[in-house]
Structures are given as structure tokens and as C-alpha cells.
Structure 1
Amino acid sequence: MTTTPHLLIVPGLGGSGETHWQHLWHQKYSNSQMLVQESWDSPLLDQWLDKLNHSIQNVQEPTVLVGHSLGAVLIALWACKYDCKNIIGALLVAPADVDSATHTPEVVWNFAPLPVQPLAFPTLLITSTDDPYIAPERAEALANHWGSTFVSIGEKGHINGASNLGLWEEGQEYLKSFIESLQLPNS
């Protein structure tokens, strides 16, 4: 029997409101924790990185990071600066293209440039074909840079609360398969 990993949910710009799948997953999964930033609407990279790193360093069990949009970008940036043996993987959903003035608002540009090196743990990057915050080709290029498994789920917008996904069952299936693919310690 394998251990079920802890889930550290990492929201993006604006946080994840009550209709966002991240919020709903946090309510559903008792093994989850939601990262809370001091300022959801005026993100500063150093502050957000410090908060994420502090939360990660306090994790005592195998953990999968679950990032959405700017949260997915934050995870990639964290992985290029820090490490933690308890991070066993990350689900990166709809990463925002902070390098693109066309796709993202100026308030997130301080998160640029996006890293282009492989991340130190397994990742699954999920995007949609009509995400206004990143072009599908750019999402696939990031997946290649980061060493991520890449999945495009068709037209689902930014895969957020406005996408009306509810508990996003499809995403839960991807998460389950991803966790099953990881090397988890035996309990």
C-alpha cells in the first residue's frame, strides 16, 4: 500500500474563489492545504516566493504541488531557486505567460522571465486550446523546457472558476493518474 501524498494548492492572481476547482478540491481533499498570499491582486515575486518556500519547508510528508496560472509559474520559479526532498511532483494548470504583454496584465510581469530549465521533480502541465493567458504552443514549449508531461484538454478557457468546471472531475482523474505514476514511499 502506498501513502497518499499531501497536496499543497497554489493559487494564482486573485486567489481561487469559491467556484474555482482549487477551492473546491481543498474542501474535498482532507490531505490538502491552500497557500494564502498577503496580496492576491498585487503579486510581488519575492514575497510570493518567500511565502511558498516557507510553506514547503514546513511540509513533513511527500507532497504534490497543485498550481494554477500564476501559481503554476510560481512553482516553476521556486523549483529553480529552492528544493525540498518532500516535493515529489507538481500539477501545473494553465500557466500564465508572464513573458507576454499580449497574454498577461502588467501586474504579473515581475514574475518574468519564465524559467527554461528542467524542474527537479516530475510535473504534469495541463492547458486548454483557448486560454487567453497563454498560447497553446507556448504552453507546450514550457512543458518541454520544464520536462513536464503535456496535456491539452481542448477549449476550457483559463481552466478557472469562469470555465464553470465545478470540482473539475477530469482534472481529478489527471491528478490521480499523475500521483500513481510517482514513486511514493510505502506506508
Structure 2
Amino acid sequence: MTTRQPNPLPASPTSALRVLLLPGWLDSDAAHWQSRWEQQHGDRRVTQDDWQWPKRGDWMARLEEVLLQDDRPAVLVAHSLGCQLVAAWAAHSRHTGRVVAALLVAPPDVERDDMPPQLAPWRPIVRARLPFPSTAVVSSDDPYCAPVRAAEMAAQWGSELVSVGERGHINGESGLADWPQGREILNALLART
């Protein structure tokens, strides 16, 4: 059996494909792989007005606004609450055809009792199947989501599930640096779209 190597992901923001980074609650800090990808690959961060008290409707409206600013197709690269944003937005938008794929990294279980009160507006979790190909990347020791709950969300969204072992919340504290494995997972997702 031969293994097909995925085509490299276009790195330039002027390429035919836009990569939109969707950070989670409190944004992604400088050590986060999303921030590094923004610097290295020219990916665009979708900046929210309120990172402290995120309102689902406001975040959905901002994502819609950014998607409509450019006619190029987009791939969504979400971390943490950004994954819940993708699910909520896709269930309500008429513009899902602008998205070719989504990488959903470390989706949090916002329905847990121990979640911060700032995340209460994100309940219930939107469980509708996504209308575009997606991959959910999960950690076996994510403090914000048990593996079984992450697998349930991935199945409900129709996402391929990839476990990266014990990597915490797959963020700046996980020691991932530029996270080349994540870029490979993204390239593999795009190769099958």
C-alpha cells in the first residue's frame, strides 16, 4: 500500500485558500501554536471584541463578517472554544459553502459543571453534523474535556478523530512550539476534501 503525501498547505494570505484561526476563550498567547502559525504561515486570526466574556452570537457574527470580506474559500483552524464557535456558526449560517474544511483542536466540554461562568452562554453544545469535512484533534488528558466526551462531539459533528496522546489542552502550555504535527494533520484534512 502506498501512502499519498498531502500537498503542502498554501502559506501566503494571497493564495487561493484562506486559513482562518479561531482562538478560544481569552485568545491564544504568543507561545500558542496558533500565534506561531499566524507568524510563520500568514494565517489570519479572527479577532473577537470580547475575549473575557464571550457571547456565542457575537462570535458567530464576527466569523460571518470575516468570511464575507473575501471570496476565497476558507479553512477554519479552531482551538478550544473556537471549536464550539465552528459548530454553532455552521448550524445557523447560509454561507457554509465558503468553508472547505475545519480543524477542531481540543474542543471543550462547556456543559460541565466546573466550567467558568463566562462560558455559560455556550450551552447547550451544538451537535449538528458539520456541512464540510473536519478533523477533531484531542488529548487524552485535556483538563477541559474527557476523551469520551470529545469523541462524542467529534462523532456528532461528523469529524475524523485524531488523538495526540497526553498533550493537555493542546495549547501554549503543552510544549508544542510550532506544532508541525498539527500542520500535517491539517494538510491531510485538506488532501481529502
Q: Secondary structure at the match of 2:111?
A: coil
Match in the other structure for 1:64: 75
Q: What is the number of residues matched between the two proteins?
A: 180
Describe how 1:25-40 pairs up with structure 2 within 5 A.
25-30=37-42, 32-40=43-51
Q: Which amino acid aligns with 1:17?
A: D
Structure 1 segment 2-17 matched on structure 2, within 5 A: 4=10, 5-17=17-29
- C-alpha deviation, 1:53, in angstroms: 1.2
Shift of 1:89: 0.7
Identity of aligned residues (%): 37
Classify the secondary structure of the residue corresponding to 2:181.
helix
Contact persistence 2:8–2:187 (CA under 8 A)? no
Pairing 1:21–2:36 present = no
Q: For 1:80-120, what per-residue CA distance to the aligned partner results, in whole angstroms no more than 9, with x for missing partners?
A: 01042220110000011111123x21211211111122111
Match for residue 145 of structure 1 among 132, 156, 169: 156
Matched residue, 2:104: 92
2:54 is equivalent to residue 43 of structure 1 = yes
What's the TM-score once normalised by structure 2's chain length? Answer: 0.89
Mean Cα deviation higher: 77-86 or 87-96: 77-86
Tell me how far 1:3 sits from its aligned partner.
8.6
> Which moves more between the two structures, 36-45 or 3-12?
3-12
**1:112-131 deviations in Å (ceiling 9; x for gaps):** 11112211111100000000
Native 8 Å contact 2:87 2:127 kept in 1: no
With normalisation by structure 1, the TM-score equals: 0.92
Find the aligned partners of 1:2 and 1:129 in 2 and give their Cα distance: 28
Work out whether residues 59 and 86 of structure 1, in 8 Å CA contact, stay in contact via their aligned partners in 2: no
105, 129, 141: which one pairs with 1:118?
A: 129
Closer/same/farther in 2, CA of residues 18 and 38 from structure 1, 3 Å limit: same
* Structure 2: segments with no counterpart, 5+ residues: 1-6, 11-16
Name the CA distance, whole Å, in 1 between partners of 2:83 and 2:90: 11
1:185 is aligned to: none
> Which runs of no fewer than 5 residues in structure 1 stay unpaired?
183-187
Larger mean Cα displacement after TM superposition, 76-85 or 150-159: 76-85
Q: Secondary structure in 2 aligned to 1:176?
A: helix
Aligned to 1:166: 177
Q: CA RMSD in A?
A: 1.5
Residue 59 of structure 1: CA displacement?
Answer: 2.9
**SS at 2:86 equivalent:** helix
